[in-house]
Amino acid sequence: MRILCIGDVVGSIGCEFLRSNLPTLKKVKGVDFVICNGENSADGNGLTPVSAKHLFDSGVDAITLGNHSFRRKEIYDYLDSNPFIVRPANFPENSTPGKGIINVDTGRRIVSIINIMGNSYMDNNLNCAFECVDKMIKQAESKIIIVDFHAEATGEKRAMGYYLDGRVSAMFGTHTHVQTSDAQVLPKGTGYITDTGMTGTIHSVLGVKSEIIIAKLKNKLPQRFDLASGECKMECTLFDVDDKSGKCVSAESMRIE
């Protein structure tokens, strides 16, 4: 089974670029299932029912989230009702909208998708990422398990990769919006990449106009984050997973411009 994992989609410009390129990529690469991080897909951060529908209509099968999961209140009920969206599992279980794991029946195989948020340089009030992922794996209904680890620190992501090696099919990192060069299959058969990258404007700082971020860092004053426009890219990672064993056979990172 060929599973494509797409890095953080930023704003409506990222959504439109994904729509323009995903169908062809799926056909050329023989993709069976598409997972996309959509926590920045609405202009101004967060996910809305409108941006989620756009991603699904464009060929995405499942959406993962992150630290902006609950930025938009209009998504709360949608997270509870939609079986194809997963949010970080280490938010408080009884009071948080949505689910930390989803089991999606593709008609060919069930794909279990887990979303976890890192603790280093993130929200330290969240439950331990390592303990949480252990609980989620027990709820998986398939040997094909994909984990989106939404985290800041590359060391924490690498550690999580080896912690999960042999227990899940693949782990792809999100959040930093910068694609790393370490797509690989770990020794026990888990596909891995520290960060799969971003879908949005190339000449930007994480999708935002560079001059705004420079001013914020230089002057230490609040800034309105306006999204950049111009040429775009879609960064993603393709994992080839054996249906029977759930082990990853190959991992390939890509950048579509």
- Binding site, annotated residues for Fe cation: 8, 39-40, 67, 150, 175, 177
Instruction: Report which of 170, 201, 179 is spatially closest to residue 253, judged by C-alpha positions.
Output: 179
Please give the Cα distance from 32 to 139 (Å, whole number).
23
Please give the Cα distance from 91 to 125 (Å, whole number).
9
68 as an active site residue: the answer is yes
Please give the Cα distance from 135 to 120 (Å, whole number).
20
Give the CA-trace dihedral at 246, 101, 132, 247, to 10 degrees.
10
Identify any residues that bridge with 192 across adjacent strands, giving them in sequence order.
171, 184
Q: Residue type for 112, please?
A: S
* CA of residue 198 relative to chain centroid, distance: 9
Q: Are strands 191-193 and 170-174 parallel, antiparallel or unpaired?
A: parallel
- Give the chain's end-to-end CA distance (angstroms, integer): 25
Q: Which of 22, 64, 66, 68 is catalytic?
A: 68
Asked if residues 83 and 114 have their Cβ atoms less than 8 Å apart, the reply is no
Find the DSSP H helices in the chain.
11-29, 49-57, 76-81, 129-138, 154-164, 210-219
Catalytic sites, residue numbers: 68
